[in-house]
Structure 1
Amino acid sequence: MLRRGPFRPGAFRSAVHEPRAAVVLGRWLGAALLVCFATGLVSHLLQDPPGWLTGRQPSRPVAGYRFTQGLHVAAGLAAIPLTGAKLWTVYPRLFEWPPARSVRHLLERLAVALLVAAVLLELFSGLLNTLQWYPWPFPFRQTHYWTAWTAVGALLVHLAVKAPVIAAHWRRAVAVPLAGRRALLTATATAVGAVTLTTAGQSVPWLRALDLFAPRRPGSGSVPGGSGLPVNRTAAQAGTTVVPADWQLAVDGPKGFRIDLAGLRALPQTTADLPIACVEGWSANGRWTGVRLADLLRRAGVPAGSAVRITSLEAAGPYRVTELPARHADDPLTLLALALDGRPLTPDHGFPARLVAPNRPGVLQTKWVARIEVV
């Protein structure tokens, strides 16, 4: 049978479709994906800890989640041009003939197909998550988590199969490097650098001046009340634009009590600089003022070392009720915040009171708090 188009012999003439370029790009891409996987696990374990970790999530370092999640999103964005370059170097193999030379070759190709599909789904769903755009019917977070494990498993199979080729081309050949290969690698490194420099400012303060293409630009927001701290979910979206005039915080415990906003403001106040760090990759510091959560719990007779449940005024939503581990509840920097940057909280920032704790994902920094109770 006469083979036409990309299936004909010699259809791909570029000399850069070669093993050495693929191995170098594979090293770079593998490093980015491993960073994404490791930091993604940190985020998952903080939000959905398994039984053995429940109550043991650390509250320090204060900016721990800000660092790991910022690195997660930065590595994921960098992996997009790396994936494109890597696929370009090897895509002629899609048109090999015959498509399967043996059962082993068929299984190898199926593993590669699974790897490519998982990586593309992971990267582009993650990219759209940074934009808070979800044009699919499946839950993002659970799908993102299990797809990551699928990609890692397929990657290990691929590395095992390609180990001899990778070993043969791991080091630079003695011969003069191919000019086209050098141009490809230089262009790819430049693209990765440009993507990183123009997006990482959403979590790295000293790169904020270059933050041209990131979805969020902390510090440049127009939130009523004067703070530039962005918000992911407004009071209108949560249905909490009108707080009852007789609002009182309920603190449950052996000596449980209720207290209104004036009573909270009359208690000893603590001010702390703490970041809000969101899963989308952006983060920003705020100067929060409020009552230490531990002081409220001791007043209610709740012993130290107790985990607590925080309930919001929000009518519905996946984070309307959150649990705070004992280490966070007892941490002196964990506040029931009443003010941000010296001004009373606005509705979008959680008026009348919100939780702010160190080393905690932004989605778990509950706004519009109505009740605190021992788990």
Structure 2
Amino acid sequence: MHEPRTAVVLGRWLGAALLTCFLTGLLSHLLQQPPTWLRDHLPSRPVDGYRVSQGLHVVSGTAAIPLLGAKLWTVYPRLFEWPPARSVAHALERLGIAVLVASMLLEVFTGLLNTLQWYPWPFPFRQTHFWLGWLATGGLLLHVAAKAPLIAAHWRRPRPGLAQRRAFLTAVTTAAAAVTLTTAGQSVPWLRRLDLLAPRRPDLGPQGLPVNRTAAQAGTTTAPADWRLRVDGPRPLELTMDQLLQLPQYNSELPISCVEGWSASAHWSGVRITELLDLAGAPNGAGVRVTSLEADGPYRVMDMPAHYARHPLTLLALRVNGQVLTPDHGYPARIIAPNRPGVLQTKWVSRLEVL
């Protein structure tokens, strides 16, 4: 079970999981913090695109954990060979493997703890996770290149009769499948009944939706009695809740999709952002900056490009599932837009500024 053929089979499965996880994670990072040249070209469709990509990110990352454990167990005798370096080239190869193993372990376990919203470390998670992803993926590609002759020699199916290897690979496959099936329900609706190990049930929470950041955590448990929505543009205006309710109300069925991997659809109603921009005299190509009532937080201020702001499904939501928003869901008003990470669906909105 420590032979190269076993390592090659596990490496194929693990490589597929890690590359899927890397590409979907890269997409999530670009949606949350796009470079200037890409900001105005991010797609607003499909409307549940982020739900699918981020769900796949967490599913593939979770499945990679038992696969990585099995892969390391298969090759561990070679990890402790003596002498540790027989030549300069061998030393460089060993160093590369050390970086690869360390970055992969850090990547999958910090990602797992992120799904639990538990951060027992002093460094920022998102930036560290992003750069570890590049390090692990680069190390993986270099490792495959270095081991290409060995991989090619053991790629095809071996002679029959190796029952021990088959039993081991069957056990690993079963473990990865079990972990996937019992956690994927937080983002895959038809697997929700099997959602036994995931940290979230998407159908549980106030108004039928989970909450990541509560009003108490944001310091916005009660909205000011004189709350008004301020819209700054060529024709600035302020609107009370009664005035907002007198404007045409629209409905959108959109998911909240969070970086932790859970997602849940809801029926939202409110005023289209595009109509508020028109009232403020905004040109068609203008984006909008959204400011929250919360006193502090990395997403208190959010910029929305024009193609999101002008999308007919993008709302300043006042109700969810037919009910007035609770404080935890963003009362008095929140943003809901298609194909956006949950952290950018700003709650407790106080101001819209035409850009």
Between the aligned partners of 1:169 and 1:264, the Cα distance in structure 2 is 67
Between the aligned partners of 2:104 and 2:80, the Cα distance in structure 1 is 21
> Offset at 1:220?
2.3
Between the aligned partners of 2:208 and 2:163, the Cα distance in structure 1 is 48
Where 1:296 maps in the other structure, the secondary structure is helix
Where 2:52 maps in the other structure, the secondary structure is helix
Q: Which deviations, in whole Å up to 9, do the C-alpha atoms of 1:187-211 show, x marking residues without a partner? A: 0110111011100000011100000
Equivalenced residue count is 355
Between the aligned partners of 2:147 and 2:244, the Cα distance in structure 1 is 63
Aligned position for 2:59: 74
1:176 correspondence with 2:160: yes
Aligned position for 1:50: 35
1:268-307 alignment runs, 5 A limit:
268-307=248-287
> Offset at 1:374?
1.6
1:216 correspondence with 2:216: no
Between the aligned partners of 2:161 and 2:130, the Cα distance in structure 1 is 40
Please give the TM-score of this superposition, normalised by the length of structure 2: 0.99
Residue ranges of structure 2 left out of the alignment (5+ in a row): none
Task: Give the one of 162, 171, 176 matched to 1:187.
Answer: 171
Please give the TM-score of this superposition, normalised by the length of structure 1: 0.94
Between the aligned partners of 1:177 and 1:310, the Cα distance in structure 2 is 64
1:125-274 alignment runs, 5 A limit:
125-173=110-158, 175-221=159-205, 223=206, 227-274=207-254
After superposition, the CA RMSD in angstroms is 0.7
Q: Which deviations, in whole Å up to 9, do the C-alpha atoms of 1:158-217 show, x marking residues without a partner? A: 1111011000000112x2241111011100110111011100000011100000010100
Between the aligned partners of 1:108 and 1:316, the Cα distance in structure 2 is 46
Between the aligned partners of 1:220 and 1:160, the Cα distance in structure 2 is 47
Between the aligned partners of 1:211 and 1:305, the Cα distance in structure 2 is 43
Q: Which deviations, in whole Å up to 9, do the C-alpha atoms of 1:137-170 show, x marking residues without a partner? A: 0000000000111111111211111011000000
Between the aligned partners of 2:53 and 2:179, the Cα distance in structure 1 is 18
Between the aligned partners of 2:120 and 2:80, the Cα distance in structure 1 is 32
1:120 correspondence with 2:131: no
Equivalent pair of 1:310/1:322 in contact (CA under 8 Å): yes
Equivalent pair of 1:202/1:217 in contact (CA under 8 Å): yes
Aligned position for 1:8: none
Residue ranges of structure 1 left out of the alignment (5+ in a row): 1-15
Equivalent pair of 1:269/1:291 in contact (CA under 8 Å): yes
Between the aligned partners of 1:155 and 1:94, the Cα distance in structure 2 is 16
Where 1:147 maps in the other structure, the secondary structure is helix
Task: Give the one of 346, 349, 352 matched to 1:369.
Answer: 349
Aligned position for 1:7: none
1:317 correspondence with 2:297: yes
> Offset at 1:318?
0.2
CA 1:171–1:177 in 2, change beyond 3 Å: closer, same or farther?
farther
Between the aligned partners of 1:313 and 1:97, the Cα distance in structure 2 is 61
Equivalent pair of 1:55/1:307 in contact (CA under 8 Å): no
Between the aligned partners of 1:44 and 1:71, the Cα distance in structure 2 is 14
Where 2:256 maps in the other structure, the secondary structure is strand
Between the aligned partners of 1:95 and 1:118, the Cα distance in structure 2 is 18
Identity of aligned residues (%): 70
Aligned position for 2:72: 87
